[in-house]
Structure 1
Amino acid sequence: MESCCSSTAMDPRYHVFCGDPAGEEVAAMSVCEAFSSRRDDTPRYALPREIGHYSLLQDGEDFKFVDGDGAKRYLRRQIPFCPMWNLNDGYAKTPHVNWISLTPAECLLRWIIRNKDKAVTLSTSEGQSERVRTDFVGHRLCLCVLMCTPYDKTTAWRMVASRHRGVIYLRVHPTKTEVHRYLKGRKDNCFVDRTTYWGIKFHRIMSPTEPCVAPEEGELVREGDSYNTVLRGQIGMHTFVISGEVKAVDPSVQCEPGSTASYVEFKTNRVFSAESHRLNFLKHKLLSWWAKSRIGGVPRGLCGFRDDNGIVRHIQEFDVSKMPGKAKGLWSEDVCMQFLDDALNFIRQHVEGDDGRTVYLFTYEPSFYQITCKRLVDPGKLYSLPDWFLKSIEGS
């Protein structure tokens, strides 16, 4: 297999992700020790509250920020148990998007600029009794990655962190392996690329753009379109503001403003043809699905089980609160939440500076079962918070 750097040498968009930025190692966290020193007092995590939303619309191979709910979708009314949908429909015509783009992460920052009072700590003034306290800001994926780390002994990850005005901004950064896999997957007729499309196609079939109407037949799938909500939550003593895609909302669920009770998640998975397939699903995919839903306040999900040809054989509903019970003995909700709390403590302890321009790189190496923290010498634009964001916040 060719190396990541050799496969991306002709395209600087991807080549820049292959380097190992220079820096000084500051600290290391043993996942094994954290895992073995489990406590009885699991940190409290209540349901997060929605404080805003925005849309991502595909713009060529990149994404465009839209301040509104233009990409919002709704759960279809009738859900057949055995639909036999062909998820290949429209595959040849769909415009692909660059999943390695940094634009989605920056879109949350654009929302924050428009909603500073809701998201970040502001300076107090006379007559202001209380200010908003936020410890962390980032995409939902940042917290999900940390939650799943105790049970992941195969997948490395990288995350950058900067502190600005008391708030630590997190962003998951692609690894060399992920860039290489992405480029391989984009080759013509690649199965990995096709299965990605199947998941998006299932999402579109399950969720029309208007409530209580049938999905549009033959809708052109635009991979990059997504509706994202911004949530405020807290685990233990850590407060955070995160964004994440909401696949659909259920119009039949009546809920108060700020509630996530109507959120619905979708997944696709290969039908089980052996017990080992079911166990693998429970051990890995269900864990990832649960973490994503749990941290995002999503109460339920629908999984389309398809065959190797992309035909949906049946649909199964999952109650997110019961997912850990289905995987009992394979992974534990308490362990995930405790480790998330410990990891956030580790990050807060070692991220210094408050100007937003001092950048730390946190790296997880599964072979060592360890998270290392490195202070970058010259992070550059690739790893730093954008100047336009810092100037906007500092000018407030």
Structure 2
Amino acid sequence: MATPQKTSLPIDNNLTIQHLVNQHNEPHTTHYDRTEATIHHNEQTTNVLSKRKLEDQTEHTNDQQSPFKTTLTPIFSTSDSHLDVPFWKKIMSNRPFFEPKEIGNFSLLNRGDTKECFEDDRYLRKYIYPLKTVDVKFDCTVGESTFELQGQNKNIDSLLWWLLRHKNEYYQNGRFTFDFLSWRGVLRLIMFTLFEKLSDYLLAIVRYKNSYFLCEFSTDLQVKQESDMTAKHRSYCYWGHKFEDYVTKEIIESSPSPMKQYTGVFYSVLDCYRLLYAAEMDCVIENKSNNDKNKVVQEHVELKICSGNSLADLPFNYNRKYAKWWLQSYLAGIKTMIIGLRDDNGFVNKIAPLEISKMENATHTWNAACFLNFFLNFAQFVEKNVVEDYNVNEKQVFLFYFSPSEQRITVQKSSDEKFHFLPDWFTSAFD
């Protein structure tokens, strides 16, 4: 029998932004004309002028105006300095096109240390069970007593490291060929603002070389919430890491190693915005290709653990916790989750696959359109406020703060060095 040839994840490192943009349903060029956007709301039509500077058409080989037209959701703010969070049903219609493509990857031990980044798949895990419901007996408490829960580094150094290695692909004519750059977690954070009632967040944003760079920073409330975390809650976090070990390794270590991460780099067009972002990926499943039985095709899956005896026990129809699960997978183009169903003592007794489309179809308390449209609101709000390019000498950033009690995002300028998240080694490469 011939040995199957492994086919890596469908990443085309030679795939340019232009190629990806051309896959959009609407024909358009790499660069967009966002001068006029027609907005429909409450049967009123308002013309919104984008503050984003249009590129000089003489700089480009294609000097014709972009044919790409868009209908944007209105900004729900009463001033340039704040954005009020709308009721989700007001922005639940007219789902924008969004289809993420994985354009690269890297492995890392620490987001904040580029010396521990490797542009390969050495930390990519493989799911070792069949893609069906399986009865198991995983003791996820093993090693818990020696495990120290560590918060995730939020800086974007490793993503900037990857971007610098691909400078020629994503930096042309003195500007980047995307509009927003961040971690996937930041995109999810922004989109889930619609339903966030307990926790705040703080994003530092700069416009650099005509693109917006986003970095999350911890708030006092977040630090307090983490320090006040109960022992049971810490156990839940550990059980999730341990579950990943059980389903992705033949030999189970006493304590998992969550610092080792495989990261996918994604690109997608959301309405008129081009997003470039990175996401930690749990594992892949391997299947034989339908076209060539000697090839193995890899597909990303997301791993989750929760209390219950079957998927029927999970309240997808009203619990918005599952909306976070859905967003996390959706933003990375993941179609399937593997759910570990546990008891209250940390034993996983069953694993079951779940298509994320079924999760969305089962709910009546959120939908994809509301999340995507709110991000468009946020993007317009950023464009309104961050209109000048980042000065590497002044290093002024814009802080966007969400208050859950006020249900409002405010913005202010800051020169505080603790928010200087674009390192000199990165900006000096574009002088």
Deviation at 1:40, TM superposition (A): 4.1
1:29 is aligned to 2:83: yes
RMSD in angstroms over aligned alpha carbons?
A: 3.1
Distance in 1 (CA, whole Å) between partners of 2:227 and 2:290 is 42
Identity %: 22
Q: Distance in 2 between matches of 1:245 and 1:184?
A: 26
Is residue 51 of structure 1 aligned with residue 118 of structure 2?
Answer: no
The answer as to whether partners of 1:352 and 1:358 remain within 8 angstroms in 2 is no
d(CA) in 2 for partners of 1:168, 1:122: 16
**1:253-332 equivalence runs, <5 A:** 254=289, 262-271=299-308, 278-279=314-315, 282-327=318-363, 329-332=364-367
Amino acid at match of 2:422: L
1:72-117 C-alpha deviation (Å, 9 max, x unpaired): 11111346622121001122344x36315345x3211111111123
Counterpart AA for 1:373: V
Query: Comparing 37-46 with 360-369, which one deviates more in the overlay?
Result: 37-46
Matched, 1:345 2:386: no
2:189 to 126, 138, 145: 145
Structure with larger Rg = 2
Aligned to 1:232: 267
- What corresponds to 1:121 in structure 2? 171
> Does 1:217 find its partner at 2:252?
yes
Is the 2:309–2:350 Cα contact (8 Å) retained in structure 1? Answer: no
Shift of 1:62: 12
> Distance between the aligned counterparts of 1:134 and 1:354, measured in 2?
15
| Correspondence for 1:363 | 401
Counterpart position of 2:223: 179
**What SS does structure 2 have at the residue aligned with 1:318?**
strand
> Does residue 42 of structure 1 match 2:95?
yes
CA–CA separation in structure 1 for the residues paired with 2:193 and 2:112 = 34
Indicate whether 1:196 and 2:237 are aligned.
Answer: yes
Deviation, 1:169, is 0.5
- Residues 111/382 of structure 1: CA separation in 2 closer, same or farther (3 Å cut): same
Shift of 1:253: 6.1
Q: Report the Cα offset of residue 391 of structure 1.
A: 1.3
Q: Distance in 2 between matches of 1:55 and 1:281?
A: 36
**Contact (CA 8 Å) 2:110, 2:259: kept in 1 or not?**
yes
8 Å contact kept, 1:151–1:331: no
Q: Deviations over 1:170-191 (max 9, x none)?
A: 1122221222233344x9xx22
Gaps of 5+ in 2: 1-78, 292-296
CA contact (8 A) 2:245 2:252 kept: no
**Compared CA separation, residues 263 and 391, structure 1 to 2 (3 A):** same
1:8-23 → structure 2 map (5 Å cutoff): none
Alignment of 1:70-149 (within 5 A): 70-78=122-130, 81-94=134-147, 96=148, 98-103=150-155, 105-118=156-169, 120-123=170-173, 133-149=177-193
SS in 2 for 1:251: strand
Superposed CA offset, 1:318-368 (max 9, x none): 1112221121x2112211111112111211221122125331111111211
Q: Does 1:64 align with 2:116?
A: yes
Q: Sort the Cα spacing of 1:322 and 1:365 in 2 relative to 1 into closer, same or farther, 3 A.
A: same
Structure 1 pair 132–172 and aligned structure 2 pair: CA distance change class (3 A): closer
For residues 153 and 363 of structure 1, the distance between their equivalents in structure 2, rounded to whole angstroms, comes to 14
Residues 299-334 of structure 1, C-alpha deviations (whole Å, 9 max, x = no match)? 11011121221101222221112221121x211221
**Structure 2 letter corresponding to 1:366:** P
Q: Which range is displaced more, 66-75 or 138-147?
A: 66-75
Q: Tell me, in whole angstroms, the C-alpha distance in 1 between the residues paired with 2:111 and 2:398.
A: 31
Ranges in structure 1 where 5+ consecutive residues have no aligned partner:
1-24, 125-130, 209-214
2:138 is paired with a residue whose SS is coil
Distance 1:370 1:49 in 2: 32
Aligned to 2:199: 155
Contact in 1 for aligned 2:142/2:254 (Cα 8 Å): no
Which structure is higher in RCO with an 8 Å CA cutoff and minimum separation 6?
A: 1
Query: Would the alpha carbon gap of residues 290 and 253 (structure 1) be closer, same or farther in structure 2, given more than 3 Å must change?
Result: farther
Runs ≥4 residues deviating over 4 A: 58-63, 253-256
Whether the 8 Å CA contact 1:62–1:98 is kept in 2: the answer is no
For 1:140, the aligned partner's letter is R
Counterpart of 2:136 in 1: which secondary structure? Answer: coil
> Which residue, 308, 333, 336 being the options, matches 2:371?
336
Give 3-state SS (helix, strand or coil) of 1:43's partner: coil
What TM-score do the two structures reach when normalised by structure 1? 0.78
Question: TM-score, with normalisation over the residues of structure 2?
Answer: 0.72
Determine if the alignment matches structure 1 residue 373 to structure 2 residue 411. yes
Report the Cα offset of residue 165 of structure 1.
0.2
**Alignment check: 8 A CA contact 1:88 1:310 kept:** yes
